[in-house]
């Protein structure tokens, strides 16, 4: 009865259920404009990230920004934080978003901002950011990191819906687009990151975001999560 509005076992299943109704999904051009607008000023969950970033940014030479869209966090964070002159901020995203990001970066003369479709670039980063993006990947973060030749010292996860129960997938209805996302288990995520050597330093709620789960109301995500981890 619920169609694409029900929950699914895998991200793939949710993706194929929503495909006819997705309206271009992540690569809808209105979505890129929306992200720039949303991050014209920092959102509540960004301030917790600033708390951890502030004292560490002088030692961070490269940032890998998973699902960094057209660079919206790069542009926003510059207004709040002092970054190194030689910082490289590398955005990983979908092809159409990357090309829009390159055009915008050229217009804004954003010389520290780079774009890539190659996940292996994360191996050279000091900081791995997954803000509002981890849940769109069918590989969990520990699996993504496992494949790298070297691992970043710091991890910032922000605006991510996590569950304490079994993992499952749903469709997010943002109005202008609909996209599938995976609800990863928080404890499993932290345990798997711990086995890669990452300790949890800070955790907060991204209370500006919630996610209804219509056929499992008790699994509804009332607030997304933010985490700061460091390699020990």
Ligand X SMILES: C[S@@+](CC[C@H](N)C(=O)[O-])C[C@H]1O[C@@H](n2cnc3c(N)ncnc32)[C@H](O)[C@@H]1O
* Residue number, 34 or 123, with CB nearest to ligand X: 34
Q: How far is CA 9 from the centre of its chain?
A: 21
Convert residues 52-81 into a mask of x (bound to ligand X by CB under 6 A) and - (unbound). Answer: ---------------xxx--xx--------
State the sign of the Cα–Cα–Cα–Cα dihedral 173, 179, 180, 182. Answer: negative
Give burial (CB, 10 Å; 0-12/13-18/19+) of 186.
Answer: middle
* Residue number, 12 or 191, with CB nearest to ligand X: 12
Residue 189 beta carbon to ligand X: minimum distance, rounded to whole angstroms: 18
When asked if residue 159 is in the footprint of ligand X (CB under 6 A), the reply is yes
Please list every residue from 117 through 146 that binds ligand X, using CB under 6 A. Answer: 131-133, 136-137
Inter-CA distances, 102 with 91, 111, 220, Å: 10, 11, 37
| Cβ contact 230:199 at 8 Å | yes
* Residue number, 95 or 165, with CB nearest to ligand X: 95
- Whose CA is closest to 219, among 179, 152, 165, 173? 165
* Residue number, 67 or 142, with CB nearest to ligand X: 67
* Residue number, 94 or 196, with CB nearest to ligand X: 94
* Cα distance between residue 61 and residue 208, in whole Å: 30
- Of 28, 39, 160, 163, the residue at the interface with ligand X (CB under 6 A) is 39
Interface with ligand X by CB under 6 A: which residues? Answer: 26, 35, 39, 67-69, 72-73, 93-94, 97, 131-133, 136-137, 159
């Amino acid at each position: 009865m619920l169609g694409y509005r029900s929950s699914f076992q895998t991200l793939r299943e949710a993706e194929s259920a929503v495909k006819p109704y997705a309206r271009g999904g992540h690569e809808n051009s209105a979505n890129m404009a929306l992200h720039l607008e949303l991050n014209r000023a920092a959102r509540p969950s960004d301030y917790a990230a600033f708390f951890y970033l502030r004292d560490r940014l002088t030692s961070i030479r490269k940032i890998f920004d998973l699902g960094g869209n057209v660079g919206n966090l790069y542009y926003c964070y510059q207004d709040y934080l002092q970054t190194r002159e030689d910082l490289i901020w590398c955005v990983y995203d979908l092809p159409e978003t990357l090309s829009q990001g390159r055009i915008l970066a050229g217009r804004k003369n954003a010389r520290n901002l780079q774009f890539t479709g190659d996940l292996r670039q994360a191996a050279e980063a000091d900081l791995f950011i997954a803000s509002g993006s981890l849940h769109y990947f069918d590989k969990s973060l520990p699996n993504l990191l496992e494949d790298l030749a070297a691992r970043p010292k710091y991890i910032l996860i922000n605006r991510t819906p996590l569950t304490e129960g079994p993992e499952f997938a749903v469709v997010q209805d943002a109005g202008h687009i609909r996209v599938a996302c995976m609800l990863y288990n928080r404890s499993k995520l932290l345990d798997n990151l711990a086995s890669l050597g990452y300790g949890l330093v800070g955790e907060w709620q991204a209370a500006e975001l919630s996610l209804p789960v219509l056929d499992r109301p008790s699994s509804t995500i009332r607030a997304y999560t933010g985490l700061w981890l460091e390699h020990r």
